[in-house]
Amino acid sequence: MATRLDQIGLKHHFVVAGDYNLVLLDQLLLNENVKQVYCCNELNCGFAAEGYARAHGAAACVVTYTVGALSAFNALASAYAESLPVILISGSPNTNDLGAYHLLHHTLGTLNFRYQLEMARHITCEAVAVTHPEEAPYLIDKAIRAAFRNRKPVYIEIPCNLSGALCSAPGPRASLLDLPESDPVSLAAAVDAATAVLRKAVRPMLLAGPRLRSYGGVEAFRDLAEAVGCGVAVMPSAKGFFPEEHEQYVGVYLGSVSSPGCSALVESADAVLAAGPIFNDYTTVGWTSQPAVSKTIHVDPDRVHVAGVTYNDVFLNDFLAALAEAAKKNPRNGTTLLEFRRTQLESALPPTADQDAPLTRAEMCRQVQDVIDPNTTLIVETGDSWFNGFNMALPDGARFEIEMQYGHIGWSVPATFGYAVAAPDRRIVLMVGDGSFQLTAQEVCQMVRLKLPVIIFLVNNRGYTIEVEIHDGPYNNIKNWDYAGIMAVFSSSDGDGRGFRATTGKELAAAIQEAVAHETGPTLIECTIDRDDCTKQLMEWGPGLPQLTDELLRVLSCPAPWTVQQIRLDGAAWRPR
Ligand SMILES: Cc1ncc(C[n+]2csc(CCOP(=O)(O)OP(=O)(O)O)c2C)c(N)n1
Ligand SMILES: [Mg+2]
């Protein structure tokens, strides 16, 4: 296992120790090329690996049986949704325990020791359990190969008593990392069909989707954009996959809450090539906006849909590269770009607020924007931080990370930790809401432990503001914390994390100055803003999402034939129509 993790290029793996994995951890420590990084709990451990995979391409984490693994599963599901090859390794009962009728701790107290493997199958593309030392090299390779081919997580279970057992040495890594090749006939046909569509189009557009990076298409997409010469928009989770300073860049496409001028271009285009998109309820703003299917060349990771025909076994990277070669510049393709530039007002810099006035969201964003340089990775958490992030300008080289398909609040703190471990030379900036932070806050102590100079903007708006905009109630209020003060707790006597509270523009500017200069640990800046001070995009996006409104209840509930009357929870009698 250690040799393979080393050979696939991992420099670290993330760990929470437990008595089902201790011997395994000893074995992994023998390979000094792959360092162990410890986490506070297994959910965070999984998310740290997820964040590491974003920066490094792949990741591994090691946990103990059931009590550990079941927590890590949530993060593994995130890696599935976000298409990241994360390898989850769990210790498991000895191979003789079942036959010996041994009831074991950390289990359900039954003799079923298979449930964890069965559960893992649903959230991985390959789940294996080693049951004999000689099977280990084969099963480990099988799982790792699947992770790289599918860009999805995998699960490997290793019994305690086999963790130190001898097995045959692994051979050279051979084809472990190879991607499958497209079917040449399908590929050529798909490229022909797409070329014909693009050639005919008067107002073509390119749209980058979240799967573009996972499936290795970022460079080919840029080549294609330059070959076609048309406008390029990105979906929110693909922000940063096409350079924002490029002359063809037109902004973030998110239906009615897109960046200025962008949705009109995408929706009026006569051909849209969407590379690795995910059109879900969030990204279509509650199914209100999506480029017309009939006009879309839809490029999935392993198939392409063009003009009502699906070309299977055509891989995204191959397709984009071949199409870039084939696409000829259409002189009219610049039309949309020209229109776009005409509609853009001179982008005025946001006004600087009165520096002694209470801090506002807009002033906070204005100052965060100044921190983002070409070497920055901006990581944004679910919440209004998403929308704050979409609005930030990324200079060339800057990167952007978001977990918009899975949307687990609390993801960002451990994922930022993992990302920072993988990319120690980048400036890592996190924007996270108070509610999200409360889920996984403790992982900041690992940033302190490893002296990672992450800058955390903790947006304290006293609650779940994004939920307030979707559907408000008392459940959106949360207990306030002394977020700035928490850094002293995490630093204790052997760390150097710093915490500041900014209640005005002046205090924020001073805190940022300290944060940028602080190199021996993380800095958390608590930005206190009003509970209702949110982006205008959130105000429009939130109410657009489908919810359990009375109208939907009426549409969805098909009463059973014997139902005469149903009593709603609020006591109001409701009769089926
Ligand atoms: C694990 C999990 N639980 C619950 C939710 C539902 N949820 C989505 S956003 C959100 C609130 C986020 O609040 P905060 O981090 O304070 O962001 P804000 O919008 O206030 O800036 C909640 C509870 C979720 N997405 N994930
Ligand atoms: Mg909040």
Give the per-residue pLDDT at 28. Answer: 97
Confidence at residue 227, expressed as pLDDT on a 0 to 100 scale: 94
Residues ≥6 apart with Cβ < 8 Å to 100: none
- What is residue 577's predicted lDDT score, i.e. its pLDDT? 44
**Which pLDDT value is given to residue 40?**
98
- DSSP conformational letter for 36: E
Q: Which of 148, 142, 147 is nearest to 170 (CA)?
A: 142
Cα-based distances in Å from 198 to 122, 201, 296, 327, 533: 39, 5, 10, 8, 43
* pLDDT at residue 499, rounded to an integer: 98
What per-residue confidence (pLDDT) applies to 382?
97
From the CA of 468, how far away is ligand 2's center (Å)?
A: 9
What kind and span of H or E run contains 567? strand 566-567
What are the tokens at 295? 């006009």
What spacing in Å lies between the alpha carbon of 283 and ligand 2's midpoint?
21
Task: Tally the C-alpha atoms within 13 A of residue 162's C-alpha that lie toward its C-beta.
Answer: 23
Contact 182, 315 (CB under 8 A): yes
Three-point CA angle 515, 518, 524, nearest 5°: 40
Q: Which residues sit with their C-beta closer than 6 Å to ligand 1?
A: 382-385, 407-409, 433-436, 459, 461, 463-467
Q: For residue 340, give both structure tokens.
A: 């776009």
Distance of CA 85 to the CA centre of its chain: 12
C-alpha 467 – ligand 1 centre gap (Å):
7
Q: Which ligand is nearest to the CA of 433?
A: 1
Residue nearest (by alpha carbon) to ligand 1 atom 6: 409
Query: What is the pLDDT, as a whole number, of residue 472?
Result: 87
Give residue 560's pLDDT.
58
Ligand 1 mutation target, pool 382, 479, 539, most atoms within 8 A of CB: 382
State the closest ligand 1 atom to the C-alpha of 538, by its place in the atom list counted from 1: 19
Mutational pocket test of ligand 1: of 47, 464, 475, the residue with most ligand atoms within 8 Å of the beta carbon = 464
Q: How much is the mean pLDDT over the chain? A: 92
> CB of 197 within 8 A of CB of 230?
no
- The residue contributing the CA closest to ligand 1 atom 13 is 464
Q: Check residue 338 and give its pLDDT.
A: 76
Ligand 1 mutation pick, 390, 431, 467, max ligand atoms within 8 A of CB: 467
The C-alpha angle with vertex 370 and arms to 248 and 381, in degrees rounded to 5, equals 80
Q: Can you give the length of the chain in residues?
A: 577
Residues whose Cβ atom is located within 5 A of ion ligand 2: 433-435, 461, 465
Residue appearing with tokens 């090329």: 33
What does the pLDDT read at residue 559?
A: 54
Do residues 462 and 483 make contact, with C-beta atoms less than 8 angstroms apart?
no
Q: How far is the CA of 176 from the centre of ligand 2 (A)?
A: 44
- Which residues is 90 bridged to in the sheet? 63, 157
Name the DSSP class of 254.
B
Residues of the chain with pLDDT under 50: 564, 576-577
- Atom of ligand 1 at shortest range from CA of 381: 15
Distance 74 CA to ligand 1 centre (A): 16
The ligand 1 atom at the shortest distance from the C-alpha of residue 439 is: 1
pLDDT in tens, 458-467: 999 999 999 8
**Ligand 1 nearest-atom number relative to CA 74:** 1
- How high is the pLDDT of residue 143? 97
Distance 356 CA to ligand 1 centre (A): 30
**What is the atom index within ligand 1 of the atom nearest the CA of 436?**
15
The C-alpha atoms of residue 496 and residue 228 are separated, in whole angstroms, by 51
pTM, 2 dp: 0.94
